[in-house]
Copies of this chain bind each other. A is one copy, B any other.
Amino acid sequence: MKHVICGKCVVCGKEYAATPNLTNCECGGILDIIYDYAYIKQNFTKEALAARAEHSMWRYRELLPVEESTPNTPLRVGWSPLYEAPALAQKLGIAKLWVKDDGQNPTASLKDRASAMAVAKAQEAGAKVIACSSTGNAASSLAGNAAAAGLKTYIFVPSRAPKGKVAQLMTFGATVVSVQGSYEDTFELSKAAIDRWGWYNRNAAINPYLSEGKKTVGLEIAEQLGWKMPDYIAISVGDGCTIAGLWKGLKDLYAIGFIDRLPRLISAQAAGCCPLNRAIADNAQWYPMEENTIADSIAVGVPRNADKALMAIRESGGVVVNVTDEEIMAAQKLLGSTCGVFGEPAGVTGAAGLKKLCEQGMISADATVVSVVTGNGLKDVANAIKACGDPISIPSDMEALLSAFAENNIIID
């Protein structure tokens, strides 16, 4: 990879050759992939990009840590729609709002970007098997993207994993091992198996390439906005890998001169699980927190990408905001009814945070904002049911309909 210099520890600064199997630094710190921007700038132009027919995350290969000979992964990951949302902007009292719907990915979440990268790197490593321990979007995106590429997956889930999620994994042909124990027990067994059989490890806690896949969401936002950056980008935060990836993508574009300013990040966490935002608010180190929220995809009490995430929020002059489950459910309905975008609870937490900041007067009326929806609401219909209440219920009778409309203050124009 002529355009990649090394993997560099974000804690101690030690550098490592960028081999496909790269994991954490010997000090325990996670690595960041360092690019040769001077080299990249020579051959990569906005015009070349605009002429490209590839409408997936792989259109940005010059900025991705893969060999020239590595094939694009088969599923269409990325190039999700960026919708302008004037009605919602008006409701929130801001100048411009765009919604990036990353639920429109093959397995319906932003995690597909990381999993597609894992599949590409596994193929570079000559691996035929990829493994991870997860019950959520990481697992389903890995299973789907690996299946399409003809790779086997072994996925370790705790026995409490919802049956629906397990069924999705099995539909993708994953060998699913349900471990009778906690998530920690599950992780330990997966680690032992990965070590024993030399499987490729799709684990955002140790694989520095995954956030490089996720950064394509930032690259797309910039290109879809014609390289004119908004004032803010709002996104939900759990483990920290996603917001760190988003920021990395934006910094890449700034480094090669495609954009001339960087937005401020809005880091939205659930009030019931916000160790990273707490660290920013207290200007202190992060420490673990309980996981009390319906937004399961960001219920991460011990975030593994804390270092990268905190750096990203601080560097951007970011804003942190914590939202209750009620605020998350309200945002779900608000996005659905004004934009036609149905996000899972974790997926709409960024929008919930933006709404709260607007109500608190923290965002000025002339602000321009992108809100990223990170996962599809179809992933968690149970919580949508709780959020929605009951429909009008009547016999098949016009008088009953008229009465029900009157009772519910529904006025037909």
Contacts and interface: CB of A to CB of B under 8 A. Distances in A.
A388 interface: yes
B81 A193 contact: no
Interface in A310-343: 332-333, 336-342
Interface in A376-408: 376-379, 381-382, 384-385, 387-398, 401, 404
A106 interface: yes
Contact of A384 (B167, B178, B186, B338): B167
Given A104-B104, A147-B336, A342-B168, A159 B393 contact: yes
A340 B147 contact: yes
A38 interface: no
Interface stretch (A16-24, A169-177, A237-245): A169-177
Contact of A76 (B104, B171, B391, B397): B104
A196 B397 CA distance: 13
B172 A336 contact: yes
A201 interface: no
A253 interface: no
Contact of A171 (B164, B192, B336, B395): B336
A340 B167 contact: no
B185 A396 contact: yes
Contacts of A377: 168, 171
Contacts of A179: 394-396
Contact of A176 (B106, B391, B395): B391
B332 A391 contact: no
Given A75-B81, A396-B185, A413-B128, A168 B384 contact: yes
A83 B197 CA distance: 31
Contacts of A412: 129, 197
Q: How many copies does the complex hold?
A: 2
Given A81-B76, A104-B106, A180-B393, A398 B189 contact: yes
A108 interface: yes
Interface in A58-101: 74-76, 81, 83, 87, 101
A130 B378 CA distance: 23
Given A147-B336, A171-B337, A83 B87 contact: no
A133 to B, nearest CB: 11
A200 to B, nearest CB: 13
A129 to B, nearest CB: 7
Contacts of A337: 147, 171-173
B396 A188 contact: yes
A166 B388 CA distance: 9
A401 B177 contact: yes
A207 B106 CA distance: 31
A74 B378 CA distance: 20
A125 to B, nearest CB: 14
A145 interface: yes
A11 interface: no
A164 B146 CA distance: 29
B396 A181 contact: yes
Nearest to A75: B340
A271 to B, nearest CB: 22
23 contacts: A74-B339, A107-B342, A108-B108, A145-B340, A146-B340, A147-B336, A147-B338, A163-B385, A164-B384, A164-B385, A167-B381, A167-B384, A171-B333, A171-B336, A171-B388, A172-B336, A172-B342, A177-B401, A177-B404, A178-B391, A180-B394, A180-B395, A192-B398
Given A76-B83, A108-B378, 12 more contacts: A106-B340, A107-B342, A129-B413, A146-B340, A147-B340, A148-B340, A159-B393, A164-B384, A170-B388, A171-B336, A178-B391, A179-B395
4 smallest CB-CB distances across A and B, nearest first, come from A173-B337, A148-B340, A176-B391, A185-B396
